[in-house]
Amino acid sequence: MSFDVDTDVIVLGAGSVGCFTALCLRERGIAVTVLDQGRPGQQSSGVNMGSLRLQGRYLGQLPLALRSQELWEQAEERLGARLDYHRGGLLYVATSDDELQRLEKMARTEAELGLQTDIMDGAAMHARWPWMAHWEHGGSWSPQSATVNSRLVTPALARKAEALGAEFVIGPEIVALEPVDEGVILTARDGRRFRCRRLVNAAGFWAGRVAEMLGEPVPIFAAGPVQVVSEPVPHFLDAMIYTSDSKVIFRQTRRGNMLVAGHPRIPVDAVARRSRVPAGKTLRNFRRMLRLAPHLEGTTILRSWTGIEGYLPDMLPVLGESRRHSGVIHAFGFSGHGLQIATGVGEVVADLLSEGGTQMPIADFAVDRFSGKLRDDVDLRHEFEDDVKHA
Ligand SMILES: Cc1cc2nc3c(=O)[nH]c(=O)nc-3n(C[C@H](O)[C@H](O)[C@H](O)COP(=O)(O)OP(=O)(O)OC[C@H]3O[C@@H](n4cnc5c(N)ncnc54)[C@H](O)[C@@H]3O)c2cc1C
């Protein structure tokens, strides 16, 4: 039987995770082909807000997040490309005194794990960001968090990986997988067939279907974080601003546009691969931002959008080896925060494939964790609109 591609490693999915993985594999001299039905970064990886937030993450993920941050620091040089990387810091604005206490507790624990975070009282915040309304409860500030331009990242990664010898096959939609003695055979809707010794499942939300075809179903669901962009305004903001309940998230781009987001996420059509933001939700998010930054009243909204992201009920990704098929690695379901850790995830997957293991603690992200008890500090009702169908 002949195959369109017959190689060592196939990475299914040319998002930021798949492309960082391909880059790391080529840097280690491993033959890799990336398959995607669309262009690199066409889905979630190309439409995200570019927030490389370190605070407020699941603590078991902080080592991976901090390593990823180190890798982001070097990414423009490594790729030889402009990514608009900017370490401007991140401020969580407490929405109440109780919330400030929660942020304080979080900061103490994060400091033990190596994340530098300062608790600020309202007066200090007001002095530093005098335009801000509702600073009275204080907040938590980390200078380490950064931003990047997501439209630039994945295409630049793909170009670099390709220059180092990775093959990209763009077009085939993989509809069937067959584990065989010496690897996996993938079949595309157009009939093309691909064979690899080892497979990386980095297909974003749709990776859930891939895992299911491999006999490892997970309770993944799709949703879209609302994003709004305004006309450019005079520069006043270097940092990212989040309210402590994440209902308001904003930053200013280099050109001066305001990028605005905030929970809850909305329903999307992952089957048709379509997502759109109802006008009311665009206005809701923008108005919430105006309550914190009233001097922007009258600013024109240019457009809004969302994208299709895969979420797991504990808001953690699936990352690690398949429990059923040796040589298969899962890396998907990044639950709205995958860009920040994509650099580290690429390294972890390359470690698993080239060394047979990783120093990074990833046991909490195992594909078979859903049969046991999940972490109970997540309340999906605050994270998603009621009409998002979650598991
Ligand atoms: C609107 C929005 C805002 C976000 N904001 C942030 C943020 O600020 N910070 C942050 O860290 N994260 C953010 N995220 C999440 C982040 O974008 C992702 O977690 C991250 O980029 C990883 O994506 P991925 O590579 O896993 O998946 P994707 O980018 O979705 O890539 C998966 C790829 O697999 C391909 N594929 C799937 N199935 C098949 C198949 N059967 N055959 C062929 N190809 C297939 C798809 O075409 C796609 O290109 C946001 C997400 C969205 C949608």
Q: What is the pLDDT of residues 57-82, one digit of tens each?
A: 999 999 999 999 999 999 999 999 99
In this predicted model, what pLDDT tens digit does every residue of 257-285 receive, in sequence order? 999 999 999 999 999 999 999 999 999 99
Query: Do 355 and 226 form a contact (C-beta atoms < 8 A)?
Result: no
Query: Is residue 388 lining ligand 1, measured as CB closer than 6 Å?
Result: no
CA distances from 278 to 226, 275, 282, 283, 285 (A): 10, 10, 7, 9, 11
Mean pLDDT of 94-119: 96
Average pLDDT, the chain: 96
| 14 close to ligand 1 (CB < 6 Angstrom) | yes
Task: Please work out whether the CB of residue 51 comes within 6 Å of at least one atom of ligand 1.
Answer: yes
Task: Write the DSSP string, 219-243.
Answer: --EEEB--EEEEEE------SEEEE
Q: In ligand 1, which atom is closest to the CA atom of 172?
A: 43
Q: What is the mean pLDDT of residues 14-43?
A: 98
Q: Does the pLDDT of residue 247 top 70, yes or no?
A: yes
Distance in angstroms (rounded) separating the CA atoms of residues 316 and 75: 24
Beta pairing class for 139-142 and 90-93: antiparallel
At residue 134, the pLDDT reads: 87
Q: How confident is the model at residue 389 (pLDDT cuts 50, 70, 90)?
A: confident
Is the model more confident about 308 or about 388?
308
Whether the predicted pLDDT of 391 surpasses 70: no
| Confidence band of 136 (pLDDT split at 50, 70, 90) | very high
For ligand 1, whether the C-beta of 40 sits within 6 Å is no
Q: Is the CB of 311 under 6 A from ligand 1?
A: no
For residue 50, the ligand 1 atom closest to its alpha carbon is 8
Instruction: Give the separation between CA 313 and CA 14, rounded to whole angstroms.
Output: 24
Tell me, using a 6 A CB cutoff, whether residue 310 lines ligand 1: no
Mean pLDDT of 316-344: 97
Gap between the Cα atoms of 337 and 325, Å rounded: 27
Please choose, from the candidates 240, 208, 243, the residue with its C-alpha nearest in 3D space to the C-alpha of residue 330.
Answer: 208
* Nearest residue (CA) to ligand 1, atom 33: 13
- What is the sign of the dihedral through the CA atoms of 91, 93, 97 and 99? negative
Q: Which atom of ligand 1 is nearest to the CA of 334?
A: 19
Cα of 254 from ligand 1 centre, angstroms? 24
Percent of the chain with pLDDT over 90: 93
- Greater model confidence, 377 or 299: 299
For ligand 1, say whether the CB of 339 is within 6 Å of any of its atoms: yes
Q: Give me the sheet containing 257-261, strands edge to edge.
A: 118-120, 139-142, 90-93, 240-243, 249-252, 257-261, 227-232, 301-305
pLDDT at 374 over 90: no
Q: Which residue has the higher pLDDT, 375 or 364?
A: 364
Q: Does the structural domain 5-50+151-221+312-383 have CATH classification 3.50.50.60?
A: yes
Q: Where in the chain is the domain with CATH 3.50.50.60?
A: 5-50+151-221+312-383
Decide if pLDDT at 373 tops 80. no
- Does the pLDDT value for residue 375 go beyond 90? no
- Other C-beta atoms within 10 Å of 343: how many? 28
Separation of alpha carbons 265 and 312, rounded Å: 14
pLDDT of residue 371: 84
Tokens encoding 263: 């929970």
Sign of torsion over alpha carbons 287, 291, 296, 298: positive
For a pocket test of ligand 1, which of 34, 47, 48 has the largest count of ligand atoms closer than 8 A to its C-beta? 48
DSSP 46-96: HHS--EE--TT--GGGHHHHHHHHHHHHTHHHHHTS----B---EEEEPSS
Contacts of 372 (CB under 8 A, 6+ apart): none
